[in-house]
Amino acid sequence: MKITTITFKLHAPWVHSLKEKRMIVKSLVAKLQNKFHVSAAEIDEQDVHQIIVIGVAAIVPHKAMADSIMDEISEFVENNTEAEILDELREIR
């Protein structure tokens, strides 16, 4: 059994309030949870309007599946938000 995590740092330059940011975060987190059945949450930079840091974690049976699901999640995030992906950190334990 492996635990895989992926952290996304996104930049949304059009966001001018925490309320706008919260709407984007809630939508993306809900979509990730519904589609991939993973744990997802905003994990950092909660008080910064234009920076979004989302962490995603999943338990998988083996490394090959971890790599596969991380690739799918990364592509999903890229296609389902207008925010620019500044950084993506992957880890398998």
pLDDT digits (tens, 9 = 90+) for 7-28: 999 999 999 999 999 999 999 9
All structural domains of the chain, each given as residue ranges with its CATH number in brackets, are 2-92 (3.30.70.1120)
Residue 59 is which amino acid? I
Half-sphere exposure of 82 (CA within 13 A, CB side): 7
Closest of 91, 87, 88 to residue 66, by C-alpha: 91
Q: Is the pLDDT of residue 56 over 90?
A: yes
Q: Which residues pair with 33 in a beta bridge?
A: none
pLDDT at 26: 95
User: Residue 6's Cα: distance from chain center in Å?
Assistant: 7
Q: Is the pLDDT of residue 76 over 90?
A: yes
The model's pLDDT over 46-55, given as tens digits with 9 standing for 90+, comes to 888 899 999 9
Alpha-carbon dihedral sign for residues 44, 60, 84, 28: negative
